[in-house]
Structure 1
Amino acid sequence: MTEYEAFAIELAHEAARVTLPFFRSDIGHEDKGGAAGFDPVTEADKQAEAAIRRLIAARYPDHGVIGEEYGQDRPDAEHVWVLDPIDGTRAFISGLPLWTTLIALRQEARPTVGVIAQPYLDEIFIGGPSGARLLRGETETPLAVRACEKLTDAVISTTDPDIFNGAELGAWTQVRATARLARLGCDAYAYAMVAAGKMDLVAETSLKTWDWSALVPVIEAAGGKVVNWRGAAPDDNGQILAVGDARLIDQALVTLRRAAV
């Protein structure tokens, strides 16, 4: 395990220390979405990101940070940590253990270490130069995607079809109609299941840097691939396609590419 992989795990444990006492409590939330629609944030989101930032500043004061709750600090640094303290706040406030903490290290503008952590289930999915694995307590299990040659055999996911605009929704609907099974509402946990070989494809839109950066090292270290809807590297246009088997990319892009930005 590399130094930065070990530190990413340490950050995940620190976030869990903050978030778990709030989960399934009487915690309230604010709506920061306004006219754009309901977008909740809680004290757990804010306190967890603040705690992670404190550890980064103490250990690596020259590193940059980009976080959902507190914005950017030296985003052009050689090493930049990208944070989403609670991805899936809607699930969090609903008592559903599908929210995750997302932590990525970006080097030369490319995510090289990623963590998808679900502390209530005691799961840390990590990917990086040392490979991909699931940590549960003292147990480490290698992560590997599964083979799925045809979209008609695939188990796919998106968080909510309502995230898509008209053209995107039409493209997603065609992909969903072709696939064997679709599951909704999983947020970033669906990407962890792709890396674990339990699901085959996730397609989403309107994702911010902190929503997708951690997913890339986890899935790719497990043998999968993450691209945008044009088939290129993920970017801040926010349209993401993640697959366990790269043979699914072209099959999904037949329709997704028509709505690509």
Structure 2
Amino acid sequence: MADSDDCILPVLPEWLTLTQAAEWLTGRTQAVGLTWAADTLLAILCTNVGPLSDIHESLPLWLFVGFADAHAVLPSGETRHIDDPYVQITPWTSRLFYVQSAIDSGMVEFRSGNGITATLCAGRTVLRDWLVVRGFDLIMFLNAYAHAQKEMQARITQPARDVPVAAMHVRDGAAPARQKSWQDAAREIADELYDRDTSAHVRNSLTGYAKQTMEEMQRRNIHGPRGSITNPATVQREALQGDKWWAKKQK
């Protein structure tokens, strides 16, 4: 039987940086108007909330530790040299890299060869640019992402069930339900970001949350009355500052 093109997996390098991975994904999805960036990809991989929560662990993140003095500290306190130039980091470390471009090596948590969680020896700055993914995992991630997108689209286009006419009338003395504003959506996104940082034991500033919220609103196509919001100060002023959101959060 002749081979089918659908059965042939694209050839990819064994390892790709996040930038290379984003470029490859864009090449596979730009025909439908979808482009990727390293930050966008990292955001999905480090998010365990929202519509893509089911696939956020489908693409394991690894760290290149090819420098000669790479050592690990085991829970017993034993120090061991790392022979493999790549280590698979835990979601906790992934989330740290999502909010910071560089962290101390002592904060890098990974699984050692025997399955025990270890950390790198402290004292060296580790850059987010050293994050890599495996080519085969990237193909599997694209398949999982496409499946998740189809499921979301199916839910969006599913016809609404018939609602009894009586249920459409407002009861006497009751106020009609308020339509959700873009400010409400911004606060929901900010809550997701805040909860994610809480799980990672980190905290951003109000300005930082406003910027991240604006970027996520743009990714989700959430607009204000005049179109896309491109100034984080607007998000901060209209949705997050003071009693609107920030004052209610533990610092």
**TM-score scaled by length of structure 2:** 0.27
**TM-score scaled by length of structure 1:** 0.26
Looking at secondary structure, tell me which structure has more helix per residue. Answer: 2
Bigger Rg over Cα? 2
